[in-house]
Amino acid sequence: MKRRNKFEQNDTVILINTGEKVTINKSCYVAKMKKYTYTIKENPKMFYFEEEMKEII
What pLDDT, in 10s, does the model give residues 15-55?
999 999 999 999 999 999 999 999 999 999 999 999 999 99
Domain ranges of the chain: 1-47
Q: Which of 28, 27, 23, 3 is nearest to 13 (CA)?
A: 23
In the structure, what pLDDT confidence band is assigned to residue 4 with cuts at 50, 70 and 90? confident
C-alpha distance from residue 49 to each of 1, 20, 57 (Å) = 22, 15, 19
d(CA 33, CA 36): 9
Looking at residue 57, its pLDDT comes to 81
